Amino acid sequence: MRDNFNGGALRLLSLVLCIFWLSGLACPALAGGAGDGGGGGGGLVNTNVIRTVDLQGLPFVREQIGVVVQNEHDSKVYRTYTVSVPAEKAGRLSQLSVHERKSGEQLVVAKGEQSSASDQLLFRATLRRGGLQPGEKLSLNIDALFVSLVEPQPRAVAQSEDQVWRWADRALVASAYPTRKQKTVVKTRGDVVRFGGGGNATRDGRRAVVFGPYAAGLDDAAQLGVALRDDAERLEVA
């Protein structure tokens, strides 16, 4: 009787968990552990990340993050991919979308929620075709639009005086998953006058800088920076 009771209790618990699954959470007991986290035997891994930062439309900053994600778990199917936005940028986020690079199909992105374990805002993109199977790879593009991510130096100048704009960000792209290789490309509409950070930066012409590629192990506190002279117009700063 006790064994039968325990088995029934476990099945009841599984049914309760599935109620939560219907609202977007994983139901490991009945769905084979599908979700977007880690676990034994591996999990989701970003094998390559390329972030392109477009400063050509100041004061708006566009970021496109191209990521190749692989499911390295033995048996789990991952139905969502989590996009992380650091807290210092979350308040300046205007738009965010995710699409498959190959098909161009837009993914449904759930409203951001604050991470309980880090200073990041988390968005969950629902993967198509039943999710990412064990051993499969998928290329995604994450597009984000930010406002007020650049800082004029000095803040106020006369019409005849010189002014530069400074962009700075973390060297490593924020992610809920391990990242094996990444780089950042910054494009500007004005000439780059200074750049640095991350230990591996090169100028690509007059109006672009490439940071990286970086392998796993770079200090998470490392910062990148680019200063540019914007000849298109002088922007009003509140």
- How would DSSP label each residue in 3-61? HHHHHHHHHHHHHHHHHHHHTT---HHHHTT-BSS--TT--EEEEEEEEEEEETTTTEE
User: For residue 228, what pLDDT is reported?
Assistant: 86
Q: How far apart are CA 13 and CA 137, in angstroms?
A: 33
Higher pLDDT: 16 or 120? It is 120
Cα–Cα separations (whole angstroms), residue 171 to 29, 58, 126, 167, 223: 39, 21, 27, 12, 5
Instruction: Determine the 3-state secondary structure of 2 from DSSP.
Output: helix
Q: How far apart are CA 66 and CA 52, in angstroms?
A: 8
Cα–Cα separations (whole angstroms), residue 188 to 3, 80, 204, 208: 68, 33, 11, 6
User: For residue 157, what pLDDT is reported?
Assistant: 61
- Band the pLDDT of 231: cuts 50, 70, 90: low
Whether 16 has a pLDDT exceeding 70, the answer reads no
The predicted model gives 132-139 an average pLDDT of 97
CA nearest to 189, candidates 72, 96, 55, 98: 55
Whether 177 has a pLDDT exceeding 90, the answer reads yes
pLDDT digits (tens, 9 = 90+) for 67-107: 999 999 999 999 999 999 999 999 999 999 999 999 999 99
Average pLDDT of every residue of the chain: 80
Whether 233 has a pLDDT exceeding 70, the answer reads no
User: For residue 174, what pLDDT is reported?
Assistant: 93
pLDDT over 90 percentage in the chain: 55
- Band the pLDDT of 18: cuts 50, 70, 90: very low
pLDDT over 70 percentage in the chain: 74
What burial class does residue 160 get, using C-beta atoms within 10 Å of its C-beta: 0-12 exposed, 13-18 middle, 19+ buried? exposed
Tell me which amino acid residue 15 is: L
